[in-house]
Every structure is written in C-alpha cells, then in structure tokens.
Structure 1
Amino acid sequence: MDQEKRVLAAFALSFLMLMLWRVFFVKEPPPKPSTKPNTAVATQPASQKPAAAAVPSPPLPPTLPVVEGSKTEDIVVENDLYKVTFSTRGAVVENWILKRYRDAKEAPLDLVDDEACGKLGFPMSLKIADEALSNKLNSALYVGTPTGTALEPPVKLEFSYSDGTVQVRKVFTFEKGYDLNAEVSVVEGGHYRPVEVTWPGGFGDHSLAPAIINTYAMGVYGAIGNLTTVAQRKLSADRSVPAPLQLAGLEDRYFAGIFVPDSPDETFKLGRQTWTPTDWSGKDSDKPSPIIAQLGEEGEKPLAFRMFVGPKNLDVLRAQHPPLDSLVDFGWFALVAKPLFLGLVYIYDHWVHNYGWAIVILTLLINFAMFPLKLKSIRSAQEMQRIAPLIKSIQDKYKNVKFNDPKKGRMNEEMMNLYKEHGVNPLGGCLPMALQLPFLYGFYRVLELPIELRHAPWIWWIKDLSAPDKFHPFGFPLPILPTVMVISMFLMQKMTPMTTADPSQQRMMMFMPVIFGIMFYNFASGLVLYFLTANMVGIAQQLLINKFMPMPQAVPAPAARSK
C-alpha cells in the first residue's frame, strides 16, 4: 500500500506542475483549430496519462523506521564470573573482565586490549563487503535494551539500529557460565546481507611481555578432538577455514574465546593486524601484531552462534556443549599426563589445598612407584662397574685401531662375549630410566599448561608455580630452586656409580647438572620443584642402597702380556 500511495502522489504532483505551467507560462492560442502538441494534450480522454507524467520516478526501496541512539552509553552485563561492558557506539565490547583472575600486573584480567582495539576495532564489530557501510555500522549509535538480571539468568541484551534503508540487530544472551548465545543480522532492501562478526585487537592477558604473547597467542579451529592451532607469530597471511566447522576462535596459554557456529556452513577467517603503539618513542616497538578472528554467514539468514569466553579449566570446558576440553592439549603423552594432572588436582582438593605441596606429594608417589625400575637400573650399573676393568682392558687393546678398521668389529665381539660371560646387560641401566621419560614429559605438560597452577603460590617467595623462580632480595633475580636443584644433582652424581669407563663420557656427565641448571633457569618453578623433590628422594634411596647393597668387588683386569 505504501508503494501505491507513493506512485499516485508522483502522478498527482506531475499533473499539478503541468497545470501551473499552463497557467503562468503558456500563451493563449488563436481561436482557429490548432494541431500543436500542447492542445492535443488538453483534449486527451481523461483515462489517458498526461504527457508530462509519461516517465514516472523509479520505485523507492521500502522505507524502514529510523532507529538510532541519542548518546554513547555503556551497558554492563555482570555476574560472579565476569563483567562485560558493551558500548552503544557500534554495539561492541569494550571490556571483558574475568573476575576470578588477575593479569601479570595483578590488575583485574581484561581479555580486551583497550589500546590495540582503539585503533583496530573492538570485539563484536561487524564486517560486510561494503567497507564504507561496515565503518558506518561500527560507529553508529545503537539502541540497547537489556532484560533479565545476574540473579535470574539468562540476561538478554538487544542492540538495534536503522538509518531507514539498512537495519541491524545484535542479540546477546548470557547464561550462568562463561558462554553466551548470539544472533546478528543486517537487512537491506528486504534481504539479509552476508555479515561477519569479528574479534580484533588480539585476545588474552595483554599485560605479559610481547615475547610471551607471541609464543602463546593462537588461532584455533576444527572439529571436537581434532583441532588445528596456528601460532600468531607464524600467521603470515590471512587464512580462510573451509566448512564444515564445529568451533573456531582465539586462545592463549590459559584463556580461550571460542565461536561455536549454529550452522556448519558458517565461515571462519584468521588474520594479522598491524598497529603503532601510543608510545611512539619505540619503547614498545616490539608490541606483537595481534591476531583477528572473523566468523561469517554467507547465506541470506542471520548469523547465529554460541561463544565461550573464559579460562581453559578442564571442568569448565567439559561442561560446555559440545565439550571443549580438547583445547587443553597435553601433547604426545596425554595418556600419562592426564592421569598425573587428575592426581595432582585430587591431592590439592582432598589433602593439602596447596599446589606446591601437591607437587611434592605426587612426586613422592611417582618415585616410590618407579623405585623397582630404579633399583634394577642401579643393580645393572653396579654390575657394569664391577667389570669396568675388563672393559677398559679391551678398549686399551684396540685403542690405536681406526674406526673403519675391521678389527673394530672384533673389539665389539669381545665386549659382547664379556657381557654374556658375566651376565651383564649393557642397556640394563638405561632402559628402566628410559621408561621414566614419558612421566617426565607428562609432568612437564601438567605443570606447563593447566590454568590451575597460574598464580598458585607455594611457600615464602614462590608466589606463582607457573612462572620461573626469580627471587629478588638484592635487586637482581636469584634463582633459588634451580640452584638447589643443581647442587642436588651433583650430590646424586657422587653417590651413583658410573656406568661408563670412558673418561670423555665421565666428564660430560659431570657437566650435566650445570647444563640442567641453565635449562631450568626460565622454567616454571613448579617443574623445578618436581625435579628437586625427585632428586632429594633419589638421594635418600641411594643412601639406603649404598648401605644395604654395597658395591661388589671389581673383577681385576688380566695382566698385560710381556713383549
């Protein structure tokens, strides 16, 4: 009906203009009949259109009611887990604070980088093919309407905007946990436009050093249990992820922002953004180029998705639908690492309520369980020590023989006959220790990844078991735990019999504690605590072994033949 009224009004206006032109500007014709076109128009039947209205204006697109906010306002959605601040300017997220966590500077943890987003755009910004329209919609004033309260979730927040031709609607529904449901639509000319929702400016704890951010900032996408991660520092070009897609988003070491599309046809893109920090002096010149995530709907329908924004806590992730616990990747030895982690959490929850002491107790249990293997390794080392003079005599016999000389084969044959004669397995000391390596790597993953150890204290100066031990009593870092660990390794070395008679290998073994100390200088203090505890247990075990299993008498080497 509105379209018909506009057409009739156009005809009426055209006819009125024609009559006014005739009255004021056209002279009266002579009385005789005339064949001029203007008199012909006057004598047309009433059912025909006037000549001036023969080319009407094209039909206009449907006019939408204008919906626009009057001023920039903040709308806060808050519960005991988070505080999310939306702005009616663009209907975007300005802050996403996780209330139970602190950043590296002990401030409330905000997953949105204000400085970067101020230049690159804020989370929940829109992107469509028309860049000018995208900019307009991301800077427009929306009308925000919240319903519900934190005490009675869900909390629904609806943003609306229309300039008369384009209509935008964003609806966010927050549940009890860290997840929300969202629906976004852009309508123009009576049709849905393809639209993308973006999270620009990076994600995670932005108070960390740039090198750490670059190490742990990731894009992630794929199917449940089969995720692909892309490190921020390795993302050299934009990457589009083909459908179908179960989840996609951004993560760092401890937190994740994950889109879960309602439709498998929705698209996902990852990209890098560049920006210049406010401190133009170059102080922050190594600021990382943040990663941007874009979830899109290419069909003519609203973009609908669920989103998880929160900690990578296994219990929290398992409670999601679908479960997101695959975001915590324990690596190749997950079969070992996961039970170790669950054991650590159990000890913390039911026994000591301190993750430092939980690490100590779990290390004791592991070492007691592995003691039979260690005992076998020590017995093998003692046997090797017993026949060391015989081994050395064979090595001296062939010491001048070149490596590629066939006589070297005879030396190896004599060595094997010696092992067989005395019932010694040359790998007997290595194999039991090698079986412990999966536990070592598994414990490394347990102490490196889970958020449970983030900012978890132990005693005195150890305030964060996930960070290196850097005690500052004199104004410079003093790594107490790594230093004590190196000393304990030297003690163990002195108490444990050497399995080799080769002087070069013995010298290398003597330097191993120093090498480990350098390696562990920047490792998480929780991991160093594990090694230190294991060494102290090893020293105690070695004392008992030396007391009750004394070193056997060495077999004397045969007398050298006289020339």
Structure 2
Amino acid sequence: MDDKRNLIAAILLSVAILLGWNFVSAQFFPTPAKPDVTTTVAGANGTPATTPAAQGQPSALPTATAPAAPATQAIRPVEAALAEGNRVPIETPALAGSINLVGARIDDITLTKYRQTIKKDSPPVRLFAPGGTKAAYFASIGWSAQGIAVPNASTVWTATGSKLTPTSPVTLSWANTTGQTFRIEYSIDANYLITAKQTIANSGAAPVSASSFALIDRLGKPTDPHEVDSWTIHVGPTGYLDGKSVFDTDYDDLEEAPNRTVRYNAAGWLGFTDKYWLAAIVPAKGERVTAAISSPSANNYQTLFARDFAQVGPGQQITTTSRIFAGAKEVEVLESYQDKLGITRLSNAIDWGWFEFFAVPIFKLLHWLFLQVGNFGVAIMALTLIIRLLMFPIANRQFSSMAQMRVVQPKMKALQERFKDDKPKMQQELMKLYKDEKINPLAGCLPILIQIPIFYALYKVLMLAIEMRHQPFILWIKDLSAPDPLHILNLFGLLPFTPPSILAIGVMAVILGVTMWLQFRLNPAPADPVQAQVFKIMPWLFMFIMAPFAAGLLLYWITNNILSIAQQQWMYRKFPALKAQAAT
C-alpha cells in the first residue's frame, strides 16, 4: 500500500511540475518564439495611437525655456520619411544611415553586420527610425537658453561635409538673429560610437546663459515576445546612474513615476537596451551632468542628460562633448569603450545577472573556442568537455562516496532499526559511522550544486550574447540561440500547425530525454521507492521542460549526458561495489 501511495505521489508531483513549468519558464526563462526571429528594432508591428507633439524635445531637463514643439505628424513609412531629403549619409564598416538636417537628429541607423532573420536575403536590422514613423527612435543633441532663440526640432541646419565616415567628420551650423552661432561637429569610429562636439559662440553684445543636452527618444515598446523585460533579461531603460548599473526600471515604471520622470544626480551613460541592441548617450569622461528617464506622453519614452547653465560672454564660446552609442552589444566592443574611453560599466548593458563573475569567463572561453573551430555547436561541445574535465576530481569523489555509501548501507539500516525510537541517538550514531568509514554523505550533491551556476551562466550566454545569434550547427539547426525548429507533433513541419510550447517537442529534446534516461539507468537504484519512481519519470519530464529552450542549451546538456555516461562506465570499472549494487 505504501509503495502504491508513493507511486501516486510521484506521478502527481511530476504532473504538477510538467504543467507548472510552462508558466514559470514563460515568466523567468523566456525563449525566442521562432527559430529565425529578432526583427527590426524600429520596425515593430505595434502602431501608436498618436504621435506625441513634442517628440524629440527635452521633457525633463533642463528647466529653462523649452524650444517650440513641432506640429503633430501623421504616421509615415520609414522609406517615405527618408526620401524627403535634407540628409547627410553615414557609412562605416558596421553602420549605415544618415543625419537629418532638420533638427540635427541621428534618426536613420541600420546595422549592416546583422540581418533581421536567418534568411540570406533578409534586410539588415534597423535600430533608429525618423520621427513620425511607426516606432520612431533617434538621438538628438541641442541647447536650452534664457532669452535667446536656440535650435529645435524644426531647425534646418547647414552641413559642411558630404558624408560622415570614420575618416571624414561632418559639421552642422545654425545662427539665430541675436548673434549666437551653434555648431555640432560629428565624428564616428569604425564600430558604433558617434562623438558630437557642441559649440555655442556668442557674437552678440550681451552675455547669454545656455545649457547643452543630449537625449534619446523612443516611440513605442518592443513588441517581439523575446524582447519583453523579464526576471532574467532586462529590456528597457538602462544606464550607469548615481553610481550603479540600472536594471530595475522598465517602461511601466516610467509611466507610473511622479511626473512620469525618474531623475538622477550623476550619469556615466544612459539609454535603452534591447536583447541584442543598445542606444545610449554618454557625457565626456568625468563630466558632471544631471539625467532623467521619462515618459513625456503615452507610448513615448526618453533618456536625457543636461549640463549646468553657463555664461557665454560677448566674443566667447563654449564647447561640450557628447557621445552616442548606437549598435550591437558586442562584448569586446563594449569592453574596449569601457577600458579605453572610460565609459563606466558600459559592458553592463548586457545583463549577465547574478553569476556575471562566472558568465563572462564562460562566454569568453566559448567565443575563443568558436574562433578556433569555426562552429558554435562544436564550440559548445568542446566547452562541455572542458567543464567535465575540470569537474572530474569532484565527480570521482562523488562516485567514490556513492560506492562507500552502498557498501555500508547494511550497517546504516541496522542503526536505523536499532534506534528508530530515538532520532537524536540515530543521527549521532550515523555521523559516527560516516566518520569511521570516512564517508561524506553530501559529496554526491556537490556536482549538482556546481552545475547550477554553470547552467545559468550558459543560459545567459546563449540568450544574450549577440555572438551566438543566428549561429548554425549542423543539418536543421540553423540558429543555436533559438529553439529546435523540428517538432514531432506536426511531423517536422509537414502539417500546417505549430504545437503549443508545452508540446513542442523537437528532435533534440527527444535525444536529451533518451541520454538522460540512459544516464539514470547506470546509476544505482535509490533505496527510497519514491525517489526511484521520480528518477524513472524525470528524463521524460525534462524532455518537455527543455524543449522550448535554445538549441545550444540542449546541445550542452546532451553532450554533458553523453560524457557522464562514459565517465560512469569508467567509474564502474574502478569501483566494482558500485557496479554490483547497480546491477541488483
């Protein structure tokens, strides 16, 4: 009767895990919805209800007189907005786009090294798009002043230079009617950093008080399911603000904040992060600025930093420097800007999570292996082998402990029977037995505990590192950062439907279940019948649980299972007592 009760309990527990995991994983471990996603950032499907009238103008800082806001615009296609002219092209090895001379906005950026999907004819990822389009997203710099006219979103600038490239800067200029001239000298490197030198020159008869600012304006939230902010992956406003990296502010927080604004007294950088992309504004190194993240109106979000107002006397000028990052969150590029240019904690734009100290070395080793072998799948398998070799002494101790535990099991049962009515005495005698036999009963748990940060770190690497995005393995696995695209229930795509995520069992998930089942079969049977039943069901539970995860994560687990089976066979030869117990 007890065995049947235990079996029923194990089955109910397994069903609860199976049904509950789908909800838990959706909340805490999101996975890509399709194998070839990551669509254009600025080309999301959601259309805002209205275009904010003041989009592109500072909503929170500075506090001086704000420039006039442009009239409300109708929603236009990106192509139509770009065809209106008044633009200076941008061309680098990593970027293409243009600067809009109306408003001096950087509002046209595509990332030429990255495609929207895995298809060869897929267009490049668009990061920035002009105002008035579905998901307008751009960077702008400007001035606020007291008593004089300053450039605004409607100002038409004059350009010196025909194209912005790493070897050819471009200068924009505009003058008001009271003797003040404003200049912006744009330069760009070979990656993703644009530098803007802002100069206000006063040729008037009286001093003026002015403040320069930089902002990023974004219309609409990301609509792709894998671009939603979650417990493990931060998407939304971010930065290094008031001495710490900001991961706890999302779009909803801005809408609910007092005055729809969150202010900061110091800023190393701030902007918006997507899963793979970042747009950020950066003041000069060591410069004192104040910053704000705000939602000027519904569905419109802005990050901004501003400098203190300064007096510009007649015949004087003031120059300030702002930097704009617009590109992919490549680890080496972010770290180079952090180390060489002093942009504090820019690499934290990648939300590595609790195990950053472990995830970053895992990524760097994995990326180095990829550079050696040329295939990320093979690199993952090599990484798994290295981890297993490093853990071999621990696993050896685990198997040795298991063998010793099986050998002394008759003595343990005798003690448990002898002192069944005196639990403290039983525990005391068991601890004495462990000490006399030199057994560590917790040794078997150590490899499992070590695997937890390894698994989580690899999960973060596969989900966040753009170096993994769209990387193929072999045969049907065209993107290791996405789930297995071949589902058994729709006959590998032959039937015209997509199974629900809880039943989307792919080929790799089945291989995972089989290898885990073989691994468990080699283990000695647990003495507890409930544990024995759970272990029988666990491989097939994990087959369902892991099916929606990235194929690269399944490949790691499958390789780990195969290496564990080989290691167990070797250990059985070394510890015959363990093999004999497994056979019985």
Alignment map for 1:153-168 (pairs within 5 Å): 153-160=167-174, 162=176, 168=182
Instruction: Find the counterpart in structure 2 of residue 354 from structure 1.
Output: 375
Q: Judge conservation of contact 1:373–1:433 (CA < 8 Å) in 2.
A: no
Q: For residues 160 and 213 of structure 1, what CA distance do their matches in structure 2 show?
A: 41
Local SS of the residue matching 2:366: helix
Distance 1:420 1:190 in 2: 85
Q: Describe the superposition over 1:95-137 as per-residue Cα deviations: whole angstroms up to 9, x where unpaired.
A: 211110123584311112568866767421658599xx89x82
2:137, 2:272 → 1: CA distance? 16
Q: Which moved more, 1:353-362 or 1:415-424?
A: 415-424
Tell me which amino acid in the other structure corresponds to 2:210: R
Distance 1:203 1:77 in 2: 25
Contact persistence 1:367–1:534 (CA under 8 A): yes
CA contact (8 A) 1:374 1:433 kept: no
- Structure 1 distance, partners of 2:427, 2:319, is 75
In structure 1, C-alpha distance between the alignment counterparts of 2:170 and 2:220, rounded to whole Å: 24
Q: 2:406 aligns with which of 385, 393, 397?
A: 385
User: How much has 1:419 moved relative to structure 2?
Assistant: 2.8
Are 2:195 and 2:322, in contact at CA under 8 Å, matched by a contact in 1? yes
Distance 1:211 1:82 in 2: 22
Q: Which of 233, 237, 240 is the matching residue for 2:263?
A: 240
Which deviates further from its counterpart, 101-110 or 453-462?
A: 101-110
Measure how far apart 1:380 and its partner are: 1.0
Query: 2:99 maps to which residue?
Result: 86
Could you list the runs of 5+ residues in structure 1 that have no partner in the other structure?
Answer: 1-70, 276-288, 402-406, 555-563
Q: 1:210 & 1:425 partners in 2: Cα distance? A: 44
1:326-365 equivalences in 2 (<5 Å): 326-328=348-350, 330-350=352-372, 352-365=373-386
Pick aligned residue for 1:95 from 99, 108, 112: 108
1:185–1:192 CA contact under 8 A, matched in 2: no
User: Shift of residue 322 of structure 1?
Assistant: 2.0
Q: Which amino acid aligns with 1:385?
A: R
TM (normalized to structure 2)?
0.69
Task: Write the distance in 1 (CA, Å) between the matches of 2:134 and 2:470.
Answer: 29
Give the letter for the 1:449 counterpart: L
Q: Which residue of 1 aligns with 2:294?
A: 271
Alignment partners' CA distance in 2, 1:307 and 1:268: 15
Q: Secondary structure at the match of 2:485?
A: coil
Match of 1:429 in 2: 444
- The residue type equivalent to 2:371 in the other structure is D
The corresponding residue for 1:497 is 524
Counterpart residue identity of residue 450, structure 1: A
Q: Percent identical across equivalent pairs?
A: 26
Q: In the alignment, does 2:496 pair up with 1:479?
A: no
In structure 2, relative to structure 1, the CA distance for the partners of 1:213 and 1:107 (3 Å cut) is farther
- Equivalent residues in 2 for 1:393-412 (5 A)? 393-395=414-416, 407-412=422-427
Q: Which amino acid aligns with 1:170?
A: I
How far did residue 458 of structure 1 move? 1.0
What is the aligned partner in structure 2 of residue 177 from structure 1?
191
**Secondary structure class of the residue paired with 1:319:** helix
Q: How many residues align?
A: 458
Return the alpha-carbon distance in structure 2 between the equivalents of residues 260 and 304 of structure 1: 9
Match for 1:322 among 342, 356, 361? 342
Q: 1:342 to 1:72 in 2, by over 3 A?
A: closer
Q: CA deviation at 1:429?
A: 1.6
Change (3 A) 1:175 1:115: closer
User: Shift of residue 453 of structure 1?
Assistant: 0.5
- In 1, the alpha carbon distance for the partners of 2:557 and 2:300 equals 36
SS across alignment from 2:239: strand
- Say if 1:388 and 1:501, in contact at 8 Å, map to a contact too: no
Mapping of 1:189-204 within 5 angstroms?
191-201=208-218
**CA displacement 1:290-337 (0-9 Å, x = unmatched):** 642112123225552122222222222233212643444544444433
AA paired with 2:568?
A: Q
Q: Does 1:222 align with 2:244?
A: no
Q: 470-479 vs 454-463, which deviates more? A: 470-479
Tell me, yes or no, if the aligned pair for 1:161 and 1:168 is still in contact at 8 Å.
yes
What SS class does the counterpart of residue 551 from structure 1 fall into?
Answer: helix
Paired amino acid for 1:512: M
Q: In the alignment, what sits opposite 1:293?
A: 303
Measure the CA separation in 1 of the matches of 2:363 and 2:532.
36
Give the 3 Å change call, closer, same or farther, for CA 412–443 of structure 1 in structure 2: same
Residue type at the aligned position of 2:524: P
Amino acid in the other structure paired with 2:304: Q
**CA contact 1:147–1:157 (8 Å) conserved in 2:** no
Change in Cα spacing, 1:410 to 1:529, as seen in structure 2 (3 Å) is same
Contact in 2 for aligned 1:419/1:425 (Cα 8 Å): yes
Q: Does 1:112 align with 2:128?
A: yes
CA distance in 1, matches of 2:474, 2:296: 42
Change over 3 Å in CA distance of 1:547–1:121 after alignment to 2: closer
> For 2:282, what is the secondary structure of its paired residue?
strand
Q: Shift of the alpha carbon at 1:460?
A: 1.8
- Out of 330, 334, 357, the position equivalent to 1:313 is 330
- Aligned CA RMSD, in angstroms, stands at 3.6
Aligned to 2:391: 370
1:29-68 map, 5 Å: none
- Assess, with a 3 A threshold, how the Cα gap between structure 1 residues 154 and 267 changes in structure 2: closer, same or farther: farther
CA offset at residue 211 of structure 1?
5.3
Q: 1:181 to 1:369 in 2, by over 3 A?
A: same
**1:463-515 alpha-carbon deviations (Å, 9 max, x no partner):** 222222232522435422223212211211111124x5222333344443344
Contact 1:232 1:290 in 2 (8 A): no
Higher relative contact order, chain-length normalized (CA < 8 Å, sep 6+): 2
2:469 aligns with one of 448, 454, 457: 454
| 1:371-410 deviations in Å (ceiling 9; x for gaps) | 22112101211222233344345545677x6xxxxx3212
C-alpha separation in 1, matches of 2:347 and 2:538: 37
- 1:49-104 Cα offsets, whole Å, 9 max, x none, are xxxxxxxxxxxxxxxxxxxxxx8523211122101222222222332111101235
